Amino acid sequence: MLMETVVAKFGGSSLSDAGQFEKVKQIVLADPRRRFVVPSAPGKRFGSDTKVTDMLIAAHEAVSAGKDVTAYFEPIRARYLGIAQQLGLKTDIGRELDVIQYAIAHGQNVDYTASRGEYLNGLLLAEYLGFSFIDAAEVIFFDARGNYDAARTQEELSKRLAKAQRAVVPGFYGSCIDGSIKTFSRGGSDITGAIVARAASAAMYENWTDVSGFLMADPRIVDNPKPIESITYRELRELSYMGATVLHEEAIFPVKQAGIPVNIRNTNRPDDLGTRIVADAPLCPDDTITGVAGHKGYTAISIEKAMMNSEMGFGRRVLKVLEDYAVSFEHLPTGIDTMTVVVNDKLIAGKLDDVITSIYRVCSPDSVEVTTGLSLIATVGRGMVRQPGTAAHLFSALRDAGINVRMIDQGSSEMNIIVGVETHDFEKAIRAIYHAFVK
Ligand code: ASP
């Protein structure tokens, strides 16, 4: 029988120096199923350190500003030479660095430059693990419009992986039709890991980082929140306010399509089980919520008009105004004669007055009211579905904490309840909800 495959992606802090490389090697070699490894570029070794990717981008900016690249490239060179020397690696990394420095100095674009952090780390890691090296530029593709080309990538990459026993594929980048390098958005090695997992039909996508998975709430707000052992892809999307810092939002889609579970693990505490992200997870009756997370910085635009409910096309006209101003909406709570659109402050900044004027012009409402300084809090849990009393429990907790709820939105899946509170109540509300459900 064929052995199952596990794809292991290691983040920047997991590969920030020679000592971290040693930990990664131990982890990879401890399980022969870990056949494909996706590295990030070396990240921070300590709080005030600079990530290699940031140094590369700074080097590119320096060249664009007409400066000499040498001083910017030296610390990058030192990072890789240090790792190679300490681990006794033979790869001619000095030559690779020369080629890259020359290319940056002679106007290579920012994507090429930023991607070299992963490329170089991949070369070193492949030698150190005794794995083959597959350049992501040869197997991960973007189409003519610069969008990720899933079909072409899946075809080429799966063929290539089928021929490899064990390989390292650097994260974060691929190539365009003309052969030029393009990167995903920042943190995009997570996406590469998910793509490789899908192409390898992996049994598991392990994402190794510097935390032992997700916590049920932000530890800066709640003392010692419990870890989340398992969470469904859908719940994670609902909790995306908190998830994005641990796992890139777009990394879920390739593995979700293929039903491959993700395991967030901690390179510095490899015995911790971490969080598993799965398609379906059993409901545990005493664990009604999976997590609570929120975000500050929202504005609610409430539009009132008598008989709105029977006016054909009213909602469409309101949303068309937002679309015309390139503002996407976050939530849309409605009443019989009212409709509220909740938008992110960053998106509406500088446009609010124009949007309101247009709504008056296009929709002839009786009134439009704006509430600023809102925070949204999502309480999410597959255990909330068809559980009578969950909402009552949540709102009693907020009432007992003296918090005024400005907005309520429950998804029809019953898996999430989103409340809008005034920003000065944000932390208090999260603590109240957490403690109401987690004993
Ligand atoms: N090195 C890239 C970044 O810093 C990609 C990644 O680490 O996932 O954004």
Residues of the chain above pLDDT 70, percent:
97
Residue 397: CB partners within 8 Å, gap ≥ 6? 432, 433, 435, 436
Residue carrying structure tokens 């015995």: 271
Q: Say whether pLDDT at 243 is over 60.
A: no
d(CA 190, CA 274): 16
CA 376 – ligand 1 centroid, Å: 28
Residue keyed to tokens 């059993």 = 282
Q: What tens digit of pLDDT does each residue of 148-181 get?
A: 999 999 999 999 999 999 999 999 999 999 999 9
Same domain, 187 and 125: yes
Name residues whose C-beta falls within 8 Å of residue 366's C-beta, 6 or more positions apart in sequence. Answer: 304, 305, 306
Ligand 1 center to 188 CA (angstroms): 6
In a domain, 1, yes or no: no
Q: Which pLDDT belongs to residue 62? A: 97
Do residues 238 and 300 share a domain? no
The answer to whether residue 284 sits within a structural domain is no
Q: What is the CATH number of the domain that holds 112?
A: 3.40.1160.10
How far, in Å, CA of 382 to CA of 46, rounded? 38
The rounded distance, in Å, linking the Cα atoms of 439 and 436 is 7
pLDDT score recorded for residue 138: 98
| Tally of domains in the chain | 2
- Residue 268 and residue 165 share a domain: yes
Mean of pLDDT over the chain: 94
| Domain membership flag for residue 371 | yes
Ligand 1 in contact with 41 (CB < 6 A)? yes
Task: Return the pLDDT at 119.
Answer: 98
35 and 119 share a domain?
yes
Mean of pLDDT values over 308-328: 94
Asked if residue 424 is part of any domain, the answer here is yes
| DSSP H or E stretch at residue 36 | strand 34-39
Comparing 184-198, 223-237, 356-370, the range with the smallest average pLDDT is 223-237
Q: Which of 246, 278, 310 is the last residue of a domain?
A: 278
Residue 383 has pLDDT above 90, yes or no: no
- What pTM does this model have? 0.87
pLDDT value of residue 287? 61
Is 40 near ligand 1, meaning CB less than 6 Å away?
yes
- The torsion angles phi and psi of 225, rounded to 5 degrees, stand at -65, 150
Residue 285 resides in a domain: no
Say what the pLDDT of residue 335 is: 87
Residues 246 and 298 in one domain: no
CATH number at residue 299: 3.30.2130.10
Residue 130's domain spans which residues?
6-278
Atom of ligand 1 nearest to the CA of 186: 9
